[in-house]
Chain A
Amino acid sequence: MPTVLILGAGSDMAVAIARQFAGNKYDIQLAARNVSALSALEQDLRIRYQVQASSYAFDATDFNSHGAFYNSLTAKPDITIAVFGYLGSQEKGQTDWQEASRILHTNYTGAVSVLNIVAEDYASRGTGTIVGISSVAGERGRQSNYLYGSAKAGFTAYLSGLRNRLFHKGVHVLSVQPGFVYTRMTENLKLPPLLTAQPQDVATDIYKAVKAKKNVIYTKWFWRYIMLIIKSIPEFIFKKLKL
């Protein structure tokens, strides 16, 4: 059975993605900082879907550990999905470097560090799929979350370049641009119900896009058009908006 590695498996979105793939008979490798918190999900996947599931400790910001982490996987995954992210507090990050660097390192540097390792393995084997979950926040910096947004912008550009390079090696790279999603990360935000996806919607979209070898998807789909509009607002107007 093919195997999926989920980096950042503790989040609501990761649970939905793990179940989506397990439901389609993929074995699942779960990786998160707090590995003991994964045992319930591991059991859940085994019992619900009768697949293999395993857990590994993985810290996105501990760059030096990423090589050893990847080598410790019992089987090399066919698909690697980077789900981890940290929204943090924009306001705090403006003055507190610790918060700002945590936002940047979790969402960008950490992702680059671990996916570099996965990419080398896939490139040398000439097979594999890498899925990066970025964000529409990375498409244009806004005053309310440009620390998070700029890190995601970097990640989006990284994925695009990686796709370009690995295409020639037979490796597929999928960029996922979610809009609003109801998760614990966004629990305290007031989100517009019509524009907000459930984690399950995102998981279904990702599964379909992997199968169809899509390059870039927005989820929900209409975010592609919302972002087109947002990106087309002239900067001299945009800078005056309270977004």
Chain B
Amino acid sequence: MERRLANWGNYPAISCDESTFSQEDQVQDFISAHSSVIARGNGRCYGDASLAKHSVSTLKYDKVLAFDTTNGVFECQSGITLDQILDIIVPKGWFLPVTPGTKFITIGGAVASDVHGKNHHVDGSFSRHIIEMDVITGNKETITCSAEKEPDLFWATCGGMGLTGIITRVKFGLKKIGTAYIRQKQIKAKNLEDLIRLFEEYSAYTYSMAWIDCLQKGDAFGRGILIVGEHATPEELNEQQRKAPLELGQKRKLSMPFNLPSFTLNTLTVKAFNWLYYLKNTKREINNVIPYEPFFYPLDAILHWNRGYGKAGFVQYQFVLPLEKKEGLVAILKRISDAGLGSFLAVLKVFGKQNDLISFPMEGYTLALDFPVRKGLFEFLDQLDEIVLQYGGRLYLTKDARMKQEVFWQSYPNAQKFADIIKTYNGDKLFRSVQSDRLLLTQ
């Protein structure tokens, strides 16, 4: 059935017919009947990576196939979301090896985006923890691959935005935890220099990220809050928490019931928000033990928060710059603050070493910012792209909705190799999206 479909940024929206499947032969039938298709999970990538004229939703292909509670190995179909997995594994003392800032993504999406989390500098991205997976490729064959078996297919599928085929089954390793709580530390940084110094000082923590106020100028330029954490041990819990250290109570969720009018977001409101966010931490350092949910998924508490950006939608701009190119970060933040295009939650994180075929992370600084779609935004982002290119960085395909193809080809060093592998497994361009066409990967 035709309908308007958009991903999390509500931009772009296209007319699309989406089909579902709950058995493998059903998806085989579907792809046999179409000349082009892209797999789509929970629609939490921000842009157009999982949009196409014909998409196939994995959401009903969501069965848990095996869970080894002794060794922490989980095996499932690709359409199950991380929140469902957490509900199963946390009570047994296990956690996701890597999680992004929302738990409402599917495992298939986690692989196709090769997601990273606050622990990237310690544990790498999600692909590091995959034991093996199944992919239905262009000749409609199901191929099992891993870093050792069919490595070309494996590495082109991790972060490959679904262009090698439909991921159907994933087996991956989990992380052992003693409690469902996080021992968290928040430290205020008065400017960017201070913040980067704090990142270095606290790099031994498993989890770290920082929020930046990108509208500040002068001495307070780049001020922010560094948030670091570790899984809490039972001894670190209070008496109430210790009664059931692996259980979290049910919380009621707030929801944004409709799109806010676009004028609600302007320099003034963003400034006010950022001011309050910074000042709410009255002390320089705060230490506490909190449930894992608000630590990893603060925005998941407000369902449909994306509607806050209005009907026109927003784009999230996430780039990474090499570690030695700190000045690039300054240049980009300056450009944003000069343009007065502040973002509510600008998130900074330091990536550890990684150099995969097409995955986004590489050692360096990554910054993610939201911008509501409005006149002049895309020209402005093109200018930011130039700075990113100039400093040897790149953009995250999962967030991307607008990058020009030449920016992609210049910034991803293995782009050609990736395109060649796609040709091997998807020679007839059966799997293609609005994004892959825009980036000339399937044109």
Q: Which A residues have a C-beta under 8 Å from some C-beta of B?
A: 10, 12, 15, 37, 40-41, 43-44, 47-48, 184, 187-190
Q: Do residues B88 and A15 form an inter-chain contact, with CB atoms below 8 A?
A: no
A190-B1 contact in complex given A15-B22, A184-B20, C-beta closer than 8 Å: yes
In whole angstroms, what is the CA distance A95 to B84 when docked?
47
Q: Do residues A187 and B19 form an inter-chain contact, with CB atoms below 8 A?
A: yes
Q: Do residues B23 and A47 form an inter-chain contact, with CB atoms below 8 A?
A: no
In whole angstroms, what is the CA distance A189 to B19 when docked?
12
In whole angstroms, what is the CA distance A231 to B122 when docked?
65
Q: Do residues A184 and B22 form an inter-chain contact, with CB atoms below 8 A?
A: yes
Closest Cβ neighbor of B88 among chain A residues: A48
The minimal Cβ–Cβ distance linking B290 to chain A, given in whole angstroms, is 26
Chain A residues whose CB sits within 8 angstroms of the CB of B87 once the complex forms: 48
A47's partner among B1, B19, B67, B77 (CB-CB below 8 A) is B67
A40-B88 contact in complex given A187-B20, A189-B1, C-beta closer than 8 Å: no
Residue pairs across A and B with Cβ atoms less than 8 A apart, 11 shown, are A10-B22, A10-B23, A15-B60, A43-B64, A43-B66, A47-B64, A48-B64, A48-B87, A184-B60, A187-B20, A189-B1
A40-B1 contact in complex given A184-B20, A184-B22, C-beta closer than 8 Å: no
Classify the secondary structure of B's interface with A.
mixed
Chain B residues whose CB sits within 8 angstroms of the CB of A37 once the complex forms: 23
The minimal Cβ–Cβ distance linking B40 to chain A, given in whole angstroms, is 14
A-B contact count (CB 8 A): 39
Q: Do residues A44 and B65 form an inter-chain contact, with CB atoms below 8 A?
A: yes
Which residues B17-39 have CB closer than 8 A to chain A? 19-23, 26
Q: Is B326 an interface residue (CB 8 A)?
A: no
Q: Is B417 an interface residue (CB 8 A)?
A: no
Q: Do residues A43 and B63 form an inter-chain contact, with CB atoms below 8 A?
A: yes
Q: Do residues B19 and A41 form an inter-chain contact, with CB atoms below 8 A?
A: no
The minimal Cβ–Cβ distance linking A29 to chain B, given in whole angstroms, is 17
Lowest 7 A-B CB distances belong to which pairs? Answer: A44-B63, A40-B63, A47-B64, A44-B64, A47-B67, A37-B23, A43-B65
Contact with A along B5-25 (1 / 0, CB 8 A): 000000000000001111100
Chain A residues whose CB sits within 8 angstroms of the CB of B22 once the complex forms: 10, 12, 15, 184
Residue of B26, B77, B84, B88 with most chain A CB atoms under a 10 A cut-off: B88
Closest Cβ neighbor of A37 among chain B residues: B23
In whole angstroms, what is the CA distance A184 to B1 when docked?
11
Chain A residues whose CB sits within 8 angstroms of the CB of B77 once the complex forms: 40
Chain A residues whose CB sits within 8 angstroms of the CB of B65 once the complex forms: 40, 43-44
The minimal Cβ–Cβ distance linking B183 to chain A, given in whole angstroms, is 29
In whole angstroms, what is the CA distance A189 to B62 when docked?
23
The minimal Cβ–Cβ distance linking A76 to chain B, given in whole angstroms, is 27
Beyond the given pairs A44-B62, A44-B64, 8 more chain A to chain B contacts, judged by CB atoms under 8 angstroms and listed by A's residue number, are A15-B60, A40-B63, A41-B63, A44-B65, A48-B87, A184-B20, A184-B60, A187-B19
A12-B1 contact in complex given A37-B23, A40-B65, A48-B88, C-beta closer than 8 Å: no
The minimal Cβ–Cβ distance linking B206 to chain A, given in whole angstroms, is 27
In whole angstroms, what is the CA distance A44 to B337 when docked?
50
Which residues B27-61 have CB closer than 8 A to chain A? 60
Contact with A along B68-111 (1 / 0, CB 8 A): 00000000010000001001100000000000000000000000
In whole angstroms, what is the CA distance A44 to B62 when docked?
9
